[in-house]
Amino acid sequence: MSGKSIDHAFTAEASHGAASDPTYAGALSFMRRRLTKKVSGSDVTVWGIPFDSAVSNRPGARFGPQALRRASAIFDNDPQYPFGRDLFETLAVVDYGDCLLDYRLPETAHAAIRAQAAAILAETGFLLSLGGDHSITYPLLQAHAERHGRLSLVQFDAHQDTWPVATAADGCARVDHGSFVLQAAADGLIDSATSIQIGIRTHAPRTCGIEIVTGAEIEETTSAEIAARIYERTGGGNVYLTFDIDCLDPAFAPGTGTPVAGGPSSAKMLAVLRHLKNLELVGADVVEVAPAYDHADVTAIAGSAVAMYLLGNLSDRKAG
């Protein structure tokens, strides 16, 4: 047992280096990263946002951050596939824990998320958020746009999320998980002309001028070709990437609020992500994991792999 440790999330003294906790034991954080509210100097801060009060179908994504952290325990101190090394040799990553929200006042959640995200972004290089329902991407885009300017949105999803937004004139001003893209475009947070959605297999009233890669197209297209379309569309600008787990077919991600048949496999979408190493990524999230509907953690495993691939790409870029 020489050189081994346990509860790395608490005992780690630095933000680099692999953990050696047994996969089945130890304090849980995302990929066993050090749990801390002191993120200054970190390359990446992982943050949970346990909010699901803006869903139109099944609730439960508030438990997504817990499930993703639990599933990430399988990424122990072995070299991570397909990167072939410890991602944290060069990349300093910490787990900030979760967003503080008042469950009695769900209408205040987006303002709280935006404010807390902005505070974290002032201290860290990159924010990787774990949801939560897809409405959380709206305040995250607000915080990232404040720092980086208007963004290109790369959205992996079965839904366009461009349904009409209720306004104050309707008696309630709010953005939900099916309307945040429409509002983000209207607010100028994203540039529709350089944004793209991958995996869409539902119809919405508007496209907002965003390029769409449908689920049917994915079946006829290689992962490298999909990635090429993403690069061409974003044109080298700053990108915010959001991955709704329902982009995947329910065979690979049953644990979500609004599953849609006919989607791609986790292998196909992970391959696409691997090709996106050179994307000018400034922020990202993984959302809509709802473990109550999961089986054997397969959805959480897929979601944690998506997050791990994003970290792997960032690590590769830093390593040169």
Q: What is the pLDDT of residue 173?
A: 57
What pLDDT is attached to residue 297? 96
pLDDT at position 18, please? 83
Residue 163 has pLDDT above 70, yes or no: yes
User: For the segment 190-206, what is each residue's pLDDT rounded down to a tens digit?
Assistant: 999 999 999 999 999 88
Q: Which residues sit opposite 174 in a β-bridge?
A: 166
pLDDT at 262 over 60: yes
Question: What's the number of CA atoms in the CB half-sphere (13 Å) around residue 46?
Answer: 27
* Residue indicated by tokens 């391959």: 271
Helices (H) and strands (E) counted in the chain, each on its own, are 9, 9
pLDDT of 84: 92
Residue range 46-71: mean pLDDT, rounded: 92
Q: Which of 41-50, 174-183, 199-208, 214-223 has the lowest mean pLDDT?
A: 174-183
- Are 253 and 302 in contact by the 8 Å Cβ rule? The answer is yes
- Categorize the per-residue pLDDT at 259 as very low, low, confident or very high, splitting at 50, 70 and 90: very high
Alpha carbon 280 to chain centroid distance?
Answer: 16
Q: What is the CA radius of gyration of the chain?
A: 18
Phi, psi dihedral angles at 260 (to 5 degrees): -135, 125
8-319 belongs to which homologous superfamily?
Ureohydrolase domain (3.40.800.10)
pTM confidence score? 0.94
Tens digits of residue pLDDT in 265-278: 999 999 999 999 99
User: Of 317, 312, 304, 245, which Cα lies nearest the Cα of 273?
Assistant: 312
Based on the number of CB atoms within 10 Å of its own CB, is 15 exposed (0-12), middle (13-18) or buried (19 or more)?
A: buried
Classify residue 317 as exposed, middle or buried by CB count within 10 Å of its CB (0-12, 13-18, 19+).
middle
Residue 8 has pLDDT above 90, yes or no: no
Per-residue pLDDT band for 217 (boundaries 50, 70, 90) equals very high
Calpha distance 248→267 (Å, rounded): 10
Where do the structural domains in the chain lie, given as residue ranges? 8-319
> Side chain identity at 185, as an amino acid letter?
A
Asked if residue 12 has pLDDT above 90, the reply is no
In this predicted structure, what is the pLDDT of residue 107?
87
Among 77-91, 209-223, 224-238, 260-274, name the one with the lowest average pLDDT. 77-91
pLDDT band for position 172 (50/70/90)?
A: very low
Q: Is the pLDDT of residue 168 over 50?
A: no
Per-residue pLDDT, 100 = 93
Residue found by looking up tokens 């979601």 in the block? 303
Helix or strand (DSSP H, E) at 48: strand 44-49
